[in-house]
Amino acid sequence: MPSALIEARNIKKIYHMGEVDVYALKGVDLCLYHGELVVVLGHSGSGKSTLLNIIGGMDRVSEGELFFGEKSLHDADERELTAFRRDEVGFVFQFYNLMPNLTAYENIGLSVQLASNPLDVEALLKKIGLSDRHDHFPSQLSGGEQQRVAVARALAKNPRMLLCDEPTGALDLPTGIQVLKLLRQFCGDFRKTVVIITHNTAISDIADRGVYLKDGLVEKVTVNEHPLPADEVKW
């Protein structure tokens, strides 16, 4: 078994609501490996987004241990977590969060300004099929084109891990398939670990592994020996 990029050991997240403790995560054990695409599934309230926020250094565990390679994240200070988010993690969300007054090229370029080893913006625009739209503003792009720019922006700083929260949730099916194909391609071509949070169980067919959460716990993990291309999934 290869070494883990992320290892979560019995992690719990507890929110204190007055005199009541609410457990969003109740003891999750999970490893994420280099260069794999993992889909995390579950109903609303299952803990998917909480897990994503903790893995991405945007939130802290209440109990348990979390490692990025050999580095401990469960006891990292704010400076260390900021450096982790900046250097190691790219984020893609359901809504594209592009700067409306910047072009596609400039939006992607935002990510490279603080990166130590960024990818080439023009090469990424070509990779996402938008070389001819590099000077277009978000309002001049379709939803699918905006999401492709958002994916390229997340990848531009050359992180080791890409975390995607419902990246196709605001897209129609054909456009969503294009974005999923792009994420699968980036996972293979750039050897990035890609994690997709979704409630759409069909998306698990494109993944190397599917992680199913229920009531703050990992209910099961499935392995796909031969993941399907996104356009061959039975949607």
What are the structural domains of the chain? 35-59+85-232 (3.40.50.300)
| Nearest Cα residue to 184 out of 164, 165, 201 | 164
Q: What is the pLDDT of residue 1?
A: 54
Segments of the chain assigned E as strands: 4-17, 20-33, 37-41, 63-68, 71-72, 89-92, 161-165, 193-198, 209-214, 217-223
Reported pTM? 0.92
153 falls in which pLDDT band (50, 70, 90)? very high
The confidence score (pLDDT) of residue 175 equals: 85
Is the pLDDT at 64 greater than 90, yes or no?
yes
